[in-house]
Structure 1
Amino acid sequence: MTRNPATDEPNPDMAAQMAAQEANEPAPLESGLEAQLGQVEAERNDLKDKLLRTLADMENLRRRTEREIADAKAYAVTSFARDLLGSADNLRRALESLPETARTEGEAALKALVEGVELTERELLKTLERHGVRRIDPHGEKFDPHLHQAMFEAPDAGIAKGLVSKVVQTGYKIGERVLRPALVGVSAGAPKAPSAEAGDTNTGH
């Protein structure tokens, strides 16, 4: 308690003034700064999170755009290439329709015609390959429903079960997509041998 220096007795007026001053003092500066600092940090974290999300979205957009551009370049000729497949098929049918003797023993004019058709077919296939179109000729390969379309299944002693035993029509791919599946026959394995009982019946025993 404040005392009067002259009498060393309590001074009630001075004590009252000091109490009034303490009551009117503002809140400590430290608490106000901490509150402001916490608000600034929260805003900074929010902006940082938004920035990271925006950067991630932009990166995904860039990758998607690059992929779409690459696909557009790779598959731009899809319709045109599909229209050319009929021409390639017709050239192959023309060559296969000729007997082997006509190719080896025929007249010079016929041999020249065959060579011209073969050359045209090779050039057409090379042109298709330059544009990413490749043949699917799966004879002897395992049947793949993503690349092949089974036309029939039949026993075949010369090839294992589940393998392509005959290619009815070659297929084509463009890039990683199937332009036309190969039409194939699938081996059912070697034919089953007649049973012993069936043999006895046929011989009359």
Structure 2
Amino acid sequence: MASDPTAGGASAEMPVETPEENLDIPPRPAGQEADVQQLQAEKAELQDKLLRALAEAQNVRRRAQQDVERERKFGVERFAKDMLSVADNLGRALSALPKDGDVSDPALRNVIIGVQATERELQSALERHGVTRVKSLGKPFNAEFHQAMMEVEDPTVPTGTVVQELIPGYLIAGRLLRAAMVGVSKGGPPARAASNEN
């Protein structure tokens, strides 16, 4: 069955209206040309302001995310510095106590074991929060991580090697929290260049 364009009662001679014939758009008056240009200029200016505002909002959001990330990493810095003095005092207490095998009194032995366990737990808690100890002994002196407190005459090790650690140094999330206070050798063969690996 062929399709009949006149089916459904539509006349084959019915003219098809174009959109231009349907619209009653009045002709533009001559004085409005300047208004149109002014409106287009305002539109362009507003679009520019919008784009700048969107860019500024994106920058503010990015800076806020960076601040949150920095605070997450380094927010415990003040607290960690305070805890380092506790770690130092525990270390001093352990170095002042006799070694575990040299103690005959069981009560004193238990105190020593308890202080050792407390120091290990404190170091573990610091590490969980991104605070790590700088490894200094036997390494070449590096001013980024070490503070030289004295020179030690030792011809058996290269000059500039850390041979004594007075106070340990710490890093927080890879950034220096406290420099290690060390004794550096002198009088030995020339040292190799200091490395950043600690």
TM-score by length of 2: 0.65
CA distance change for structure 1 residues 141 and 32 in 2, over 3 Å: closer, same or farther?
A: farther
The structure richer in helix per residue is: 1
Match of 1:170 among 168, 171, 175: 168
Is the CA contact (8 Å cut-off) linking 1:162 and 1:189 kept in structure 2?
Answer: no
Is the CA contact (8 Å cut-off) linking 1:155 and 1:191 kept in structure 2?
Answer: no
Match of 2:123 in 1: 125
3-state SS in 1 of match to 2:90 = helix
Q: C-alpha separation between the residues in 2 aligned to 1:151 and 1:159?
A: 18
Shift of 1:191: 6.9
Is the CA contact (8 Å cut-off) linking 1:148 and 1:184 kept in structure 2?
Answer: yes
Query: Do residues 106 (structure 1) and 103 (structure 2) align?
Result: yes
Query: Do residues 68 (structure 1) and 64 (structure 2) align?
Result: no
Q: C-alpha separation between the residues in 1 aligned to 2:90 and 2:141?
A: 26
Q: Which has the larger Rg?
A: 1
The worse-fitting range, judged by mean Cα deviation, of 121-130 and 110-119 is: 110-119
CA distance change for structure 1 residues 35 and 164 in 2, over 3 Å: closer, same or farther?
A: farther
Shift of 1:134: 1.8
Q: C-alpha separation between the residues in 2 aligned to 1:129 and 1:160?
A: 31
Shift of 1:154: 3.6
Is the CA contact (8 Å cut-off) linking 2:148 and 2:183 kept in structure 1?
Answer: yes
Is the CA contact (8 Å cut-off) linking 2:163 and 2:183 kept in structure 1?
Answer: yes
CA distance change for structure 1 residues 44 and 153 in 2, over 3 Å: closer, same or farther?
A: farther
1:58 partner letter: A
TM-score by length of 1: 0.63
* Percent of residue pairs bearing the same amino acid type: 43
CA distance change for structure 1 residues 64 and 176 in 2, over 3 Å: closer, same or farther?
A: farther
3-state SS in 2 of match to 1:59 = helix
Match of 1:97 in 2: 96
Match of 2:21 in 1: none
Is the CA contact (8 Å cut-off) linking 2:167 and 2:180 kept in structure 1?
Answer: yes
3-state SS in 2 of match to 1:66 = helix
2:101 partner letter: T
Q: C-alpha separation between the residues in 2 aligned to 1:127 and 1:41?
A: 64
Match of 1:157 among 155, 158, 170: 155
Unaligned runs of 5+ in 2: 1-27, 191-198
Shift of 1:116: 1.5
Shift of 1:106: 2.5
Shift of 1:44: 4.6
Is the CA contact (8 Å cut-off) linking 1:158 and 1:190 kept in structure 2?
Answer: yes
**CA displacement 1:72-115 (0-9 Å, x = unmatched):** 2333333332222222112111221234xx42243251333222
Number of residues of Structure 1 aligned to a counterpart in Structure 2 = 162
3-state SS in 2 of match to 1:114 = helix
Query: Do residues 46 (structure 1) and 45 (structure 2) align?
Result: yes
CA distance change for structure 1 residues 58 and 106 in 2, over 3 Å: closer, same or farther?
A: same
Is the CA contact (8 Å cut-off) linking 2:158 and 2:189 kept in structure 1?
Answer: no
Superposed CA RMSD: 3.0
